Structure 1
Amino acid sequence: MTVELRGLDEARLVVLAARLAPAVRAGGTIYLNGDLGAGKTTFARALLQALGVGARIKSPTYSLLESYRVDGYDVHHLDLYRIADPGELEWLGLGEIADGTSLVLVEWPERGAGALPAADLELSLVHAGAARDLCARASSSRGEAMLARWDPAAAA
């Protein structure tokens, strides 16, 4: 199952992330793919805010991992931009983080290949002039359920 959206400005990207929040509350792993400046962190931050993270949402570019507790469940945001080798992730305890009940958001997942939990949903952001194109692809039955519950048209 795939959803493709074109010509998104930053405001619409934020609305789309907020509309996805109810669909991902059951947990799972979401990969955020795209070049530098494509909107991965903007999308992740908007999703975290919509989930109810009240704390300041920092980009985990330097810390690699920021974790939040929201309504009794855990949300983990990873940014692997600075990772040179997937073996560097060993100390993060990804096995405990991706326990099936937590939500795990991963920016730059290709840098952690082989060390990350499999994606349920892959979001790819691509520069399209001043705008962005978004492709959301389910990679599991959980990801299909996420996409089935998401209503991106309501973000228009």
Structure 2
Amino acid sequence: MTTITLVQGDITRQSVDAVVNAANSSLLGGGGVDGAIHRRGGPAILAECRKLRASRYGKGLPTGRAVATTAGELDARWVIHTVGPVFSRAEDRSALLASCYRQSLRVAAELGARTVAFPAISTGIFGWPMEDGARIAVRTVRESADPSVEEVRFVLFDKEAYNVFAEVLEA
């Protein structure tokens, strides 16, 4: 059974098999978690992302999908890049958000990752409300984590996000 843990801190400082990157579809770096992972992980991550863009993801990584690269200089073996949906009040995109977690876990299991660190996907500049994002994240991990993944760690940047995830996890 997969253990779910919460950490308040910097996802780029986690010692895990795989770090999940809340990437943008270009795979070429950006702001927030994406920029931090590319900066700390170094040029090897960007080099592999460029290869992915030159081959099977010429138009970018579709929302809800996941793909792995090296973790470069991070204390991890892999970075699993996934593109979260932008929140919309007019359209329910929760299935796409759940797919980010499900597909990232599928890639992690295929790689043989036993420990995986996730950020709160789409809750930053993509505007997803934290409580709803936490509910979707926790439910999806509980329902779809492969037993070979021993620990899923949600790494929350601030105390507010940590508290929301803690409430959802206890519910």
TM exceeding 0.5? no
**Higher RCO, Cα 8 Å, sep 6+:** 1
- Interval containing the TM-score (normalised by the shorter chain): 0.3 to 0.5
Structure 1 length-normalised TM: 0.41
Structure 2 length as normaliser, TM-score? 0.38
